[in-house]
Amino acid sequence: MLAKLHDAPFDDPGWIYEIKWDGYRAIAEINKRGYRLYSRNGLSFSEDYPAIYEELSKIKKEAILDGEIVALDKEGKPSFQLIQQYAQGGEVPIVYYVFDCLSVGGKSIESKPLLERKEILKALLPESDLVKYCDHIEERGKDFFTLVKKQGLEGMIAKRADSVYRQASRSADWLKVKNVIMEEAVIAGYTEPGGSRKYFGALVLGLYKGGKLIYIGHTGTGFDDKTLKDLYNKLQPLKTGTSPFGVKVPVNGAVTWVKPKLVCNLKYTEVTQGGTRRHPVFMGLRIDKDAEEVHEEVRDDNNTDQDNSENDKPLKMEATKTINGKKLAFTHLDKVFWPDEGYTKGDVIDYYNTVYPHIIKYMKDGPESLLRMPNGLADKGFFHKDAGLNAPDWVKHIALYSESAAKDINYIICNDKPTLLYLANLGCIEMNPWNSRLNKLDNPDYLVMDIDPSEHNTFEQVVETANVIKQILDKAGATSFPKTSGATGIHVYVPLGAKYSYDQAKEFAHVIATMTQQQLPEFTSLERSLSKRGKDNIYIDYLQNRKGQTLSCAYSLRPKPGATVSTPLEWNEVKKGLLPSDFTIKNIMKRVEKKGDLFGGVLLKGIDMMKCLKKLNR
């Protein structure tokens, strides 16, 4: 059974989530005649992995198992490159992680629900360091994926909990969500080596589409001397005088073509509009797949949170587009929003189109306070009340009573990409959701410490204030996550898990703010009024923890010079030399690709406020 590609993690009580192992898929059969261990294409693994093969003898019932053979690095993480070293005689720890069971006692259980099959599997497997049960979590796919990214793993597999096992089927009941972009590629040739390099320069790569091999790029990285030699020797019997592509491909220099028989793993950063892989790195040969199996990944057509490549193309002119079945009219895309930098309204929409998978988790189900700036930085803009009344009928909204306005206001709820781009087209440069969500509007997901400097404070003082807040929260045993405001300050978030009221969050934040101000009396204040606190003091704003108060969310653009972005940080980055202007519309996506989403922890299990207060009072 195979998985379709899905673009983003999701939560669902009807699904389970497993690690996406980076190894060789393997089927094990145990019966009265003995036992077998083989790949998807029928290649026997018994001689390649004799220790695992022998370990199968400890399973006392007849069974057919599905799993993956994985090599582990020193930190216990799967490494496809290390499995190559094992094949070459290296001392590398390997494990057969088993995640499904197809048959027990000679009877098929493929029609049983997945969770029932896994319970049978868990009871079937004896304690072993070589053959292990692949565990899972239920419902919380987003939290699980945050951990996957933090550990630097390849990704996760989401599986419908009640799904049956469908052999030789690529079903939407199994979905793979990737952290690292990896795929298989067919080796079609190699170029001549240059300089001091031996054997070959780069591999020419392709995959099958519509029955034809198409060119996807070439890679000259990921090799050491031994790999170069071994791979070169494997390619020599496959040499041919004809290109397997049938058309000219853009490769500089002479190419030695080979029959498209060998398959390799490839890591890369993105796919260009021409279909080539950018920054490709060779990760090792695959012995468990035939070249004819290497096609473009099949995506989950029912993916409503993400959009196809057509929807991801930049919007550089006025256009009407249909995204996830929702029709949007984008207007005045060439209007300049940042006069000094030249960034346009179209650039804002393009940015939110790209950052959507990361920002949506912090906006979902949160009422939006819309600050519209249809002329960009040329004016101050205005707040759009009763936004839902004027929105398309597919935009979700909710009427909530506003004490300040003394009436119900129709707040927009942004849960999907069409709505996010609709907001961007309104001129909403920044996105400002509540701290709580529809299911618990009176209970915030997190509390916020907003470090708001005056124009006379230095950013080094802001950094110092943030670190004092962290020290106090550390003493309390409270996890915290910093981000730049995108303007002049820093926001420090503490996860609450929607367990406490806004008043409780505000009072706890007041305690932290008071203790911080006591340590930094020279340049901090709890006075909201600028005239009362003085022009040289940072305001530690704990009052942001009130219902309906909003801040720019993580990954939101800000209408500030440079087109800055409110950017999640690692605490070791909060030090002298940090500047909010370092993170802009121009470079933020490269940072996210490198570091992943650093902010996911704010949506995890919240702190125990009473325990934290007791620790602070010791």
What pLDDT was estimated at residue 600? 86
Sign of CA dihedral 454, 456, 462, 468: negative
Q: Rounded to whole angstroms, what are the CA distances from 294 to 12, 45, 297? A: 31, 21, 9
Residue 416 predicted with pLDDT over 80: yes
Phi-psi category of residue 98: left, alpha or beta, with phi > 0 → left and psi -120 to 50 → alpha:
beta
Average pLDDT of the chain is 89
Mean pLDDT score, 542-569: 95
Judge whether 244 and 231 are in contact, CB under 8 Å.
no
Using pLDDT thresholds of 50, 70 and 90, give the confidence band for residue 298.
low
Per-residue pLDDT, 303 = 42
Task: State how far the Cα of 352 lies from the Cα of 427, in Å rounded to an integer.
Answer: 12
* Interatomic CA distance for residues 419 and 28, integer angstroms: 47
Low-confidence winner among 310-314, 385-389, 544-548 (lowest mean pLDDT): 310-314
- What would the mean pLDDT of 486-494 be, rounded to a whole number? 95
Q: What is the per-residue pLDDT across 313-355, written as a single tens digit (0 to 9) for each? A: 555 445 788 888 888 989 888 889 998 888 999 999 999 999 9
CA distance 363 to 94: 41
Q: Which amino acid is at 499?
A: K
Same fold, 182-293 and 309-425: no
Residue 413's pLDDT is: 94
How would you classify the pairing of strands 34-38 and 12-19? unpaired
Question: Does the pLDDT of residue 274 top 80, yes or no?
Answer: no
Paired strand residues for 326: 323
Q: Is the pLDDT of residue 89 over 70?
A: no
Q: What is the mean pLDDT of residues 442-456?
A: 94
**pTM (predicted TM-score):** 0.53
Q: What is the reported pLDDT for 280?
A: 86
Task: Give the SS3 label for residue 240.
Answer: strand
pLDDT (tens digit per residue) in 23-50: 899 999 998 888 899 987 778 888 889 9
Arithmetic mean of pLDDT, 542-558? 94
Candidate from 156-165, 478-487, 495-504, 522-531 with smallest mean pLDDT? 522-531
Mean pLDDT throughout 464-481? 96
pLDDT of 87 strictly over 80:
no
Segment 231-239 shows an average pLDDT of 95
Top pLDDT among 195 and 113 is at: 113
Kindly compute the dihedral angle of the four CA atoms of residues 211, 214, 220, 226, in this order, to the nearest 10 degrees: 10
The pLDDT of residue 465: 97
Phi, psi values for residue 463, rounded to 5°: -60, -45
Mean pLDDT, residues 520-538: 86
Q: Which residues of 564-597 are buried (b: 16+ CB within 10 A; e: fewer)?
A: bbbbbbeeebbeeebebebbbbeebbeebeeebb
How many other CB atoms are found less than 10 A from the CB of residue 310? 9
Instruction: Check residues 152 and 522 and name the one with the higher pLDDT.
Output: 522
Q: Name the band, by pLDDT with cuts 50, 70 and 90, for residue 535.
A: confident
Q: How far apart are the first and last CA of the chain?
A: 56
Cα angle, residue 364 at apex, residues 568 and 434 outer, rounded to 5°: 75
- Flag the least confident range among 300-309, 329-338, 383-392, 550-559: 300-309
CATH number of 446-616: 3.90.920.10
pLDDT at 557: 97
Are the beta carbons of 101 and 27 closer than 8 angstroms?
A: no
What is the architecture of the domain spanning 309-425?
Alpha-Beta Complex (3.90)
**May I ask the CATH class of domain 182-293?**
mainly beta
pLDDT at 243 (0 to 100): 92
Per-residue pLDDT at 583: 95
The strand order across the sheet containing 155-160 reads 2-6, 170-178, 155-160, 12-19, 137-139
Give the pLDDT band of residue 307 (cuts 50, 70, 90).
very low
pLDDT for the residue numbered 312: 47
Helix axes 459-476, 609-616, angle to 10 degrees: 100
pLDDT confidence tier of residue 90, bands split at 50, 70 and 90: low
Residue 308 has pLDDT above 70, yes or no: no
Q: Give which of 257, 248, 246, 240 is closest to 203, Cα–Cα.
A: 257
What is the structure's pLDDT at 319?
Answer: 73
User: Which residue did the predictor score with more confidence, 129 or 172?
Assistant: 129
Domain ranges of the chain: 2-178, 182-293, 309-425, 446-616
C-alpha to C-alpha distance for 492 and 516, rounded to whole angstroms? 13
How far apart CA 83 and CA 74 sit, in angstroms, is: 13
Assign domain 2-178 to a CATH class. alpha beta
- Between 71 and 246, the higher pLDDT residue: 71
Bridge partners of 399, per DSSP, are 410
Segment 574-597 shows an average pLDDT of: 91
User: pLDDT-based confidence at 99, cuts 50/70/90?
Assistant: very high
pLDDT on residue 259 = 95
- R_g (Cα) of the chain, nearest Å: 28
- DSSP assignment string, 241-263: SS-TTSS-----S-EEEE-TT-E
Q: Which two tokens stand for residue 295?
A: 């096609």
- What pLDDT is recorded for position 314? 53
pLDDT value of residue 299: 58
